[in-house]
Structure 1
């Protein structure tokens, strides 16, 4: 929808048509009082306008000015109602709707009915946005647009706090909010496969702007930054709207920080950083090339924005000297997802030989393979056709067992691969969907027989013979880094012990808690795993994290 400013044309029409009629009528009735004689009372803001302000009217009378004020106020009030009624659509179309936002700002300046805007818009977002049918990415995009739009109307941020509160509370209740926010900062797609570029640009744009402002400040180091900011604040000061709730906000409210408000949804910078570390580790481990410029750029911007807290992001153990993502030490990386699988004998023998040679060259270091991680490039041959695929190791291990034996029962194949039967059946759906394996039920409902097809029609199953197809995205639930839910289950037995320690001590640092848990002979988790586990408790509002200390939430 195309938005344009209509306020000035309306005001021009008022002067051209209704006021001309009132002027003629006043002249006919004999009213000709002008402002040539000073008045003891307060003058209208329009009284100082020169005669050219009223086209075709030499000297405006008091009655004419009063009529103009009435008509313009009616126009402001009517346009305000229309713009507030369409405010949701206006913000959806931001920044193309900036002229309409400017109209609304001018209307509110004259009418002072700010509370109507807040009440109406909160009602709209609860009915149209905060619903189960809206994706988290869409809600975040609308939230960022809302902040930017309301910042044009109210630079103090009062409206942003009032309107944004229900959005923030709703997003805190969604499980994927944290992941969506961090994904928008890392992969440039906002977590949406279609690509919601506006959402991503909103966050990275804010980081870039902060960096540019910092560079400009460094170029003007001859001027004291505090004194300079004080002058800027004094020149731009505006009183808060009278509708401001004194219990909310602060007398020292600063300019709205979009990224800061987004981080506020997560809870704290530390929780954002922990989630970002997990996602960055996942991306680096899954990279098949050496292009990490985007990750480095995002990392540096986050470190710049978050200061010392963000500096910990650099401790990922990333060896840039070798132009590759390498785990130098597990102490600097999030816990890796463990999954036991049995690789085919030829492959397992090659890995053992490689590990042996590594030990000979780098004695006393040893190489331990994470067999479930990484990717495998396969070439499947069917008659005169050959197809290359890139799949997960467990899927490669499954299909390689069909080289010597073309038919397997689910139980026998599960034993051969070394995975549970239910996990195997789920994995087999991948090859069945590609037309490589056929499935038949034998006896019980969960007992299947899998058979390798003799021929495969690649055109019908979406497999391209001409190129190597990366099918990792087709495998649902794949992740190299352990999830918070998995860590929570593994730490569940220690939950009461942690709660008891916090009850007795009042507060504990992460290191203190870790040392106490290590005194238990059964505790074998790393410091990073404990940190992620405690961050889950913080997000569930069982614990509080302030100034590097954990507290029980009262």
Structure 2
């Protein structure tokens, strides 16, 4: 046979099977027939090659290397066949080869199912889509082995099967991974996937290079598959990691139930190079789904806490957490209610996660200043940070040791912010509920001392001591009152006597109490003076709680309301009809505040607006006759001033110091002003002011033209100096 015959007969005969598109049912048969014909036609060439080698052995010299000669002829023949027949392949041939191996893969998987003795077998065979009684998977595998054996003899197996087999395997691995772990994060899948890859994919590849179907893979087959095995495992881990990365936001939200999925992902990240993709994908998911005004701050904090726990599983060094959660921390810093939400979560029984963190016996550091390399455990084996770690001094030890509360505090980089917020929240809880039982608050205070230190929380300790002292004081004054007067009609007063310098700023509201109530307060003050020796009380009449019992014509109401609400209703027992202007005159309250307070009584049906700003007491109401009703004050206003008002008051105190300094020293730079304020004006709790806050405040005074800034120095205008 000649080279001309390859051009004119062998190649046209082979490609005649793939001139046009084939239906799927014919592809497997056409591939089998075309390879069988090609093997038959090329066998004559290989036979001629063997004969030529034998002839050469007789005519050549004794030192002639026959093996090299045969290998050289074989390689030239291979090159000739590939150049003439497979120099360019046709699309229909590629499709047919892909379908051929696809059918063989399905048949192989079905045969493994039979070996696994699956009891839930469907009535039709998944390998060939025929009825079980008409299954043709064995015939398919027989043809599959025959074709591969023929291609192997022709040294064309890798040449023709490489692209379709690689494409098929990648597609099947991707489909199997996505189908296996769609939305279930509670079960580890990686070991099962690796087992599937070993038995179904690697086993099928070994069958491609093996001549005996049931005898197991030969050593030659294993040697042929070995170079591809590591690549297949890498691809499996890559696909699985990419799938889980796309689901990572939901995995974090469902933590700790989703910890098995995180453990699998951690294993895959160690074998792939997808950390950068994970950081970018998760940051995008957090910014898109979490960091926008439509999400409550409490929900953002809950997700952030879950992210801390989950990312610690993926990367105990904390580097991933730093890279991913920086947008979350930045967003939370710009939310006004973040600090209050964090502090509320720390001392609310409803948030078990943060409560568990708070009661830990060995709390972590609260900021970088609390940890150094010398403080780390000496017995631990040092490990370097990943290459994508942020290079900050001592950051490694802090990242590894910081707990959840430490990371929440470090959002602001200062524990003073949280201590001040806790102080305000504690005051609000005490003055809103007016409960003298402080056991629960003392427990939380002792736990917080372990985190923030006793010095920082000294004011809070004094506040709780004030409550306990007030309880004893009320008991003593009440006993004296009963012994001296015995007046049962007098209004009983229980006071909360507070040390003003240790408490946050109170909400201010002007009101004049009824004479009867004011008389009881004055009497309480007199008793206090006797007990404390010339010390007196400064009452906050708008704060507190008044227990009322109101007898109407058809019912009795028992209420617990604020003194302002009680004062309004008190005047309606003098006369049944009042206008807003009249009430404003006797209570000395602004009209707009009165209307808001009167709305509470309107909502409970006791007052009715007859005309604009004119209200009437309703002593009879249909459907509520002859029984008591218990009502609560729905308007639970905070007893403390808003954070904005408190901050403004603190800055006004600082401004008085600044005016004094500039009056004496004429001009000062910003850093000198700040250092002097820290020395003289920032001693008490809640009086801290950063240099950035001070600069904003002083620049505002410059805009108001009460301060001059020139050449880096601040000074007062001449008329004010």
Equivalent pair of 1:5/1:103 in contact (CA under 8 Å): yes
Give the aligned partner of residue 452 of structure 1: 617
Give the aligned partner of residue 219 of structure 1: none
Label 1:244 to 1:358 Cα distance change in 2 as closer, same or farther (>3 A). Answer: closer
Label 1:441 to 1:56 Cα distance change in 2 as closer, same or farther (>3 A). Answer: farther
**Counterpart secondary structure, 1:148:** helix
- CA deviations on 1:72-93 (whole Å, 9 max, x unpaired) are 2111111111111111111111
Q: Compute the displacement of 1:283 (Å).
A: 1.5
Alignment match of 1:364 (pick from 526, 534, 538)? 534
Give the aligned partner of residue 353 of structure 1: 523
Give the aligned partner of residue 388 of structure 2: 243
Q: Compute the displacement of 1:130 (Å).
A: 0.5
Equivalent pair of 1:269/1:309 in contact (CA under 8 Å): no
Give the aligned partner of residue 8 of structure 1: 191
- CA deviations on 1:94-126 (whole Å, 9 max, x unpaired) are 111111111211111111210000000111111
Label 1:317 to 1:492 Cα distance change in 2 as closer, same or farther (>3 A). Answer: closer
- CA deviations on 1:501-522 (whole Å, 9 max, x unpaired) are 573624336674439xxxxxxx
- CA deviations on 1:15-62 (whole Å, 9 max, x unpaired) are 1211211222222399xxxxxxxxxxxxxxxxxxxxxxxx96686834
1:484 and 2:667 matched: no
Q: Compute the displacement of 1:392 (Å).
A: 1.0
1:507 and 2:674 matched: yes
Kindly report which structure 2 residues correspond to 1:134-213, keeping only aligned pairs within 5 A, or say none: 134-188=295-349, 197=350, 200-211=351-362
**Counterpart secondary structure, 2:548:** strand
CA RMSD of the aligned region, Å?
3.5
- CA deviations on 1:372-427 (whole Å, 9 max, x unpaired) are 11111112233231121111111111111111111111111112222111111111
Q: Compute the displacement of 1:437 (Å).
A: 1.2
The two structures have a TM-score, normalised by structure 2, of 0.60
1:342 and 2:512 matched: yes
Label 1:151 to 1:56 Cα distance change in 2 as closer, same or farther (>3 A). Answer: farther
Q: Within 1, Cα distance between the matches of 2:364 and 2:330? A: 31
Equivalent pair of 1:2/1:96 in contact (CA under 8 Å): no
Kindly report which structure 2 residues correspond to 1:157-306, keeping only aligned pairs within 5 A, or say none: 157-188=318-349, 197=350, 200-211=351-362, 229-232=377-380, 234=381, 237-246=382-391, 250-255=395-400, 256-306=402-452
Q: Within 1, Cα distance between the matches of 2:427 and 2:586? A: 31
Equivalent pair of 1:73/1:111 in contact (CA under 8 Å): yes
Give the aligned partner of residue 125 of structure 2: none
Give the aligned partner of residue 561 of structure 2: 391
Q: Mean Cα displacement is larger for which, 449-458 or 371-380? A: 449-458
**Counterpart secondary structure, 2:411:** helix
- CA deviations on 1:185-224 (whole Å, 9 max, x unpaired) are 2233xxxxxxxx4xx333222222244899xxxxxxxxxx
**Ranges in structure 2 where 5+ consecutive residues have no aligned partner:** 1-182, 366-372, 473-495, 662-667, 699-711, 713-721
Label 1:430 to 1:321 Cα distance change in 2 as closer, same or farther (>3 A). Answer: closer
**Counterpart secondary structure, 1:244:** coil
Q: Mean Cα displacement is larger for which, 176-185 or 431-440? A: 431-440
Label 1:439 to 1:250 Cα distance change in 2 as closer, same or farther (>3 A). Answer: same
Give the aligned partner of residue 48 of structure 1: none
**Counterpart secondary structure, 1:378:** strand
Equivalent pair of 1:156/1:253 in contact (CA under 8 Å): no
Give the aligned partner of residue 28 of structure 1: 211
**Counterpart secondary structure, 2:377:** helix
Label 1:186 to 1:241 Cα distance change in 2 as closer, same or farther (>3 A). Answer: same
Label 1:58 to 1:238 Cα distance change in 2 as closer, same or farther (>3 A). Answer: farther
**Counterpart secondary structure, 2:211:** helix
Q: Within 1, Cα distance between the matches of 2:259 and 2:628? A: 49
Equivalent pair of 1:130/1:167 in contact (CA under 8 Å): yes
Equivalent pair of 2:188/2:261 in contact (CA under 8 Å): yes
Q: Compute the displacement of 1:144 (Å).
A: 0.8
Q: Within 2, Cα distance between the matches of 1:267 and 1:540? A: 17
Q: Compute the displacement of 1:347 (Å).
A: 1.4
1:417 and 2:603 matched: no
Q: Within 2, Cα distance between the matches of 1:395 and 1:287? A: 16
State the structure with more CA Rg. Answer: 2
Equivalent pair of 2:332/2:338 in contact (CA under 8 Å): yes
Q: Compute the displacement of 1:487 (Å).
A: 3.1
Q: Compute the displacement of 1:454 (Å).
A: 2.8
Equivalent pair of 1:337/1:482 in contact (CA under 8 Å): yes
**Counterpart secondary structure, 2:549:** strand
- CA deviations on 1:483-515 (whole Å, 9 max, x unpaired) are 332234445656655567573624336674439
Equivalent pair of 1:379/1:387 in contact (CA under 8 Å): yes
Equivalent pair of 1:186/1:280 in contact (CA under 8 Å): no
**Counterpart secondary structure, 1:430:** helix
Question: How many residues are aligned here?
Answer: 475
Q: Within 2, Cα distance between the matches of 1:533 and 1:213? A: 26
1:378 and 2:548 matched: yes
Alignment match of 1:63 (pick from 224, 242, 254)? 224
Equivalent pair of 1:376/1:396 in contact (CA under 8 Å): yes
Q: Within 2, Cα distance between the matches of 1:21 and 1:316? A: 77
Equivalent pair of 2:249/2:286 in contact (CA under 8 Å): yes
Q: Mean Cα displacement is larger for which, 317-326 or 9-18? A: 317-326
Q: Compute the displacement of 1:278 (Å).
A: 1.3
Alignment match of 1:436 (pick from 584, 597, 606)? 606
Q: Within 2, Cα distance between the matches of 1:510 and 1:493? A: 13
Label 1:451 to 1:314 Cα distance change in 2 as closer, same or farther (>3 A). Answer: closer
Q: Specify which structure has the bigger relative contact order, considering alpha-carbon pairs within 8 angstroms and separated by 6 or more residues.
A: 1
**Counterpart secondary structure, 2:558:** strand
**Counterpart secondary structure, 1:318:** helix
Q: Within 1, Cα distance between the matches of 2:649 and 2:364? A: 45
